[in-house]
Structure 1
């Protein structure tokens, strides 16, 4: 009996609208076991498969096969043959809708039966937030169809249907702060009502990534729910103090100029921040450190933006540029469209999916490099480990990273959820 007692099952979770897996990563780093990741984007789903493979190989002490793949020594097809099907099928590349839910439920039910799991402990995830974001709504004024009519406004109802079916003990629903005011506040009122209607007490708070030790000023709405008539609460998140600056994320990466790439670290030494947070490990292979090519005009603007920042942390105003460097007709909005990553500060501005369009808002702080940041640098700003590989073309990689919950933040949230679950037993 004692032997059986020591073999306590891990807490389980389902990740909805999983994206590239930032939220999942934090929960898995905290010992939670994924039952399923549901994600509609094919590139993000492949990234989830690759990360699933990483965790399987790590558990078997066979990570050399993973690093072989990252080095390009083996094709993705041959690499995935090393992973048992029961692990890979936890990643479901599906568009959630009322029509597709029965099929998705059926697949998840099959996994639960196969793995002898009788309780989903937590559901995590956040419906795509463009329709709720303040920037998205500003842009919608110029669209044929306004954001208020965006079908993504209704995705929370699908999330609620998962709660109703699987009745997890708790859930984490992540979104942008703009969800409160979207649609004149109607959407937010409906979200809360729907989550309560399916049997949950809920509480919501604004959380800031930097309070969890992420070197980024990222504000998010984190809703936590728990089954009615249970004794769970919104976790208490104590701010994490870190003495690091953003340059601690970048200093060990080889310097590059626009259009260049490198697969070798500049030094074997790494900052205390990277080491302490397991962002870089000795065995890691450097991937995705490739620069966009930049036009000479943009390079000149980048230099001016860096010079302004170095001169007392001034921001470049687009209207202050010489006329020969100006190409945008709009001279009244987005005047800070060229922005430096604040290398000498404790955190930088929020990294968002727009980085996939251009890198002007994320200029490397080193004037000698005069370029926008690479995919790997963006991933580090989001606190992804260097072992995390993002599939797809560069544009898709940037979108995945920009939309993600920073894993270090997710790990802090998972820690709080686990504490609640343990106290409630």
Structure 2
């Protein structure tokens, strides 16, 4: 028996020696992925950071597609030691067109600005096949728009989102699984998916993914457990191709809870007041801290963009002061009905009592950053009563764990706040995505 074991050991040793280069390649190669319903690329950012290679990002929003292209430009220029060109763009010394002219066209073409479904799928598949150049797809990531499953979305819809086509975008997702046969997929959505249609949609998803050949595992996750300073609950479904002998990683054992407060995200930023006309790029007011450095938010350059505050009416600013003072002195949240009558302009007095809410700097996490921040900042009041304003784009991006060199574009230029806020509110926190990506990379390697 010992002799046989020795012979087996020698044979394995010879195999490793003969295939050393091949094994090294397999351990270091970049696994490929397609990002569906990509948005501004928060989920993708985490996977790029973990060493994955994006083949294509499919997204219907034009402004978000520009954001994706700009981020691709950032990664490319950084990897080719030409990062100064990206810095020049952040400073406003280079136009977006000039920036994109420095990037290989294939990389820019990997952003596909089309809605998924119907006749568009044929066009999307042709583009992806050209980008793949014969390679296989290791992974598909993404999550359909969440409004159809969101508790708030259903509450605001007269029909409770019944009949909304977005309820069935998971069917399109499954068709892409069938076409590209990835080893694994990662599907992200809101917690409301559990109860949407009394659980009918989730149950149908499970059956459909099973029919397409995937074992799945559902995780109810909280962003704070991934180090994100935000109270953000989400559903993550990880699917694995049947017959691979791959065990789906457990996301429940990730405990990266940060030992700091929201103030650590805000304190190094320049003080600005409502409506202040700020330059395109600014300097930090303070040095970085452990949290900002360890989470890649402060990532090496001393340039800050998109820190321009919204203008606010005198009435809103008075309400903001009341809300901040109430929190700072009593640690109490403002109830809308407690405001003086002259400040109460909303007809709805029976719900949304907390429509004005301070982002408390002394708390371990903020309230959830959602796309509604694009419409007004009342739910995201800055904790400094002297600044007396709502959060800037950069502050919201930081609460979502986006790096400071992540630039959120508009359609015509990158200075429009509304599309930037919308993209940030709809995004997956990159820090959360990164922790998930590390688990999956270890599995595939």
* TM-score grouping bracket, smaller chain normalisation: over 0.9
Pair 1:253-2:269 in alignment: yes
The whole-number CA distance in structure 2 between the counterparts of 1:241 and 1:128 is: 27
The whole-number CA distance in structure 2 between the counterparts of 1:407 and 1:312 is: 34
1:11-50 pair list within 5 angstroms: 11-50=31-70
- Aligned to 1:364, what secondary structure does the other structure show? coil
Residue 40 of structure 1 deviates from its aligned partner by 0.3
Pair 1:65-2:85 in alignment: yes
Pair 1:403-2:426 in alignment: yes
Residue 82 of structure 1 deviates from its aligned partner by 0.3
Query: What is the TM-score with the length of structure 2 in the denominator?
Result: 0.91
For 1:230, which of 244, 247, 266 is the aligned residue? 244
Which structure has the larger Rg? 2
**2:169 paired residue number:** 155
The whole-number CA distance in structure 1 between the counterparts of 2:183 and 2:41 is: 21
Q: Does the 8 A contact of 1:98 with 1:158 survive in 2?
A: no
For 1:386, which of 404, 410, 413 is the aligned residue? 404
The whole-number CA distance in structure 2 between the counterparts of 1:164 and 1:370 is: 52
Instruction: Sort the Cα spacing of 1:64 and 1:340 in 2 relative to 1 into closer, same or farther, 3 A.
Output: same
**1:172 paired residue number:** 186
Residue 285 of structure 1 deviates from its aligned partner by 1.9
**1:121 paired residue number:** 138
Residue 342 of structure 1 deviates from its aligned partner by 1.7
Pair 1:211-2:228 in alignment: no
Q: Does the 8 A contact of 2:283 with 2:302 survive in 1?
A: no
Q: Does the 8 A contact of 1:284 with 1:386 survive in 2?
A: no
Comparing 224-233 with 169-178, which one deviates more in the overlay?
Answer: 224-233
Pair 1:289-2:307 in alignment: yes
**2:338 paired residue number:** 320
The whole-number CA distance in structure 1 between the counterparts of 2:259 and 2:23 is: 41
- Aligned to 2:185, what secondary structure does the other structure show? strand
**2:362 paired residue number:** 344
Residue 311 of structure 1 deviates from its aligned partner by 2.4
Comparing 238-247 with 4-13, which one deviates more in the overlay?
Answer: 4-13
For 2:72, which of 52, 55, 78 is the aligned residue? 52
Pairs aligned (count): 416
**2:127 paired residue number:** 107
The whole-number CA distance in structure 1 between the counterparts of 2:432 and 2:174 is: 24
- Aligned to 1:401, what secondary structure does the other structure show? helix
Structure 1 unmatched runs, 5+:
none
Q: Does the 8 A contact of 1:202 with 1:223 survive in 2?
A: yes
The whole-number CA distance in structure 2 between the counterparts of 1:90 and 1:320 is: 52
**2:10 paired residue number:** none
The whole-number CA distance in structure 1 between the counterparts of 2:194 and 2:378 is: 29
The whole-number CA distance in structure 1 between the counterparts of 2:426 and 2:85 is: 29
Residue 133 of structure 1 deviates from its aligned partner by 0.3
Superposed CA deviations along residues 355-375 of structure 1, whole A, max 9, x for unmatched, are 001000000011111100000
- Aligned to 2:330, what secondary structure does the other structure show? coil
**2:104 paired residue number:** 84
Residue 283 of structure 1 deviates from its aligned partner by 1.6
The whole-number CA distance in structure 2 between the counterparts of 1:420 and 1:342 is: 38
Residue 220 of structure 1 deviates from its aligned partner by 0.2
Instruction: Sort the Cα spacing of 1:282 and 1:310 in 2 relative to 1 into closer, same or farther, 3 A.
Output: same
- Aligned to 2:85, what secondary structure does the other structure show? helix
**1:140 paired residue number:** 157
The whole-number CA distance in structure 2 between the counterparts of 1:22 and 1:266 is: 24
- Aligned to 1:131, what secondary structure does the other structure show? coil
Structure 2 unmatched runs, 5+:
1-18, 411-415
Query: What is the TM-score with the length of structure 1 in the denominator?
Result: 0.95
The whole-number CA distance in structure 1 between the counterparts of 2:42 and 2:190 is: 15
- Aligned to 1:147, what secondary structure does the other structure show? coil
For 1:241, which of 236, 257, 262 is the aligned residue? 257
